[in-house]
Amino acid sequence: MERNLSFDTEGLEKIAVHLGWAQLEMFADEVDKVQVMAAGDDSSVEDLRIAVKDGCLTVEQPQYGLSLNIMECRWLQVCVRVPSQWKGDIALSTLSGLLSARKLCAKSLSLETVSGDLHAVRICAADASLKTVGGDMRGEQLTAESLNVRSVSGDTALDALSVKSLKCTSVSGEQTYNMACAFEKVDVTAVSGNVIITAPVEAMDVSLRSISGRVRTEGVNIREGDGVPSVRVTGVTADLKLISIKD
């Protein structure tokens, strides 16, 4: 079964999609209206709640759907397509379903999964937040004033980052962050997962501390004071590495 709905962007300030086991994709395209497309078994598609209220378009699976066994002939995929020029707030979340976001530009952006993987490509936002518990996180060409990343056991790999401030927290997942340009501050905390940061900057105010893990820098000119990017990385058993990539 399929459902296809369209919504005007006039007065639309936010899009919020909250799903359980369903797969979610959202991207920007050359369209005039916001389009919500759902495909799946009859019950799952019919039960999907789609409505606009107080300037917010909300798409939700009912609460009972969060505990359904997806092997019992239940399946659901939701795709949201927005006009390229629309720049409101975006909040997307799934429990176990894959979450994919691309070519989005928002004031505030939140992407969150529990066990599902998270993919983000060509994202632009003033404030952005990426969160997973056990799912892996992959991102490329992410631009933001402030980017907050949180993961428990999933691996995180973010490439071509253009951010002023990056704050990351992980318990056991591997973390890799490749900065595309100069930045102001990077703050990373890890327990047992390893951390690798690369940046096209030589001079940095650096503090790398791990209780029992190895700490390394490559090509970095460590300086203190204002006027240079700040990098603070703390680990327990994690290995920490900061690499300066010259142009």
Does residue 172 carry a pLDDT above 80?
yes
Mean pLDDT, the chain, integer: 94
CB 66 within 8 A of CB 95: yes
| pLDDT value, residue 72 | 62
Q: CA distances (Å), 114 to each of 19, 55, 159, 204, in order?
A: 11, 27, 22, 35
- Within its chain, how far is the Cα of 216 from the centroid? 27
Residue 38 neighbours by CB distance under 10 Å: 21
Secondary structure of residue 216 in the 3-state scheme: strand
CB 154 within 8 A of CB 174: no
CB 126 within 8 A of CB 107: yes
Model confidence, pTM: 0.94
CB 183 within 8 A of CB 163: yes
Confidence band for 70, pLDDT divided at 50, 70 and 90: low
Residue 101 neighbours by CB distance under 10 Å: 24
Distance between CA atoms of residues 164 and 145, nearest Å: 5
Domain boundaries, the chain: 1-114, 136-247
| pLDDT value, residue 246 | 77
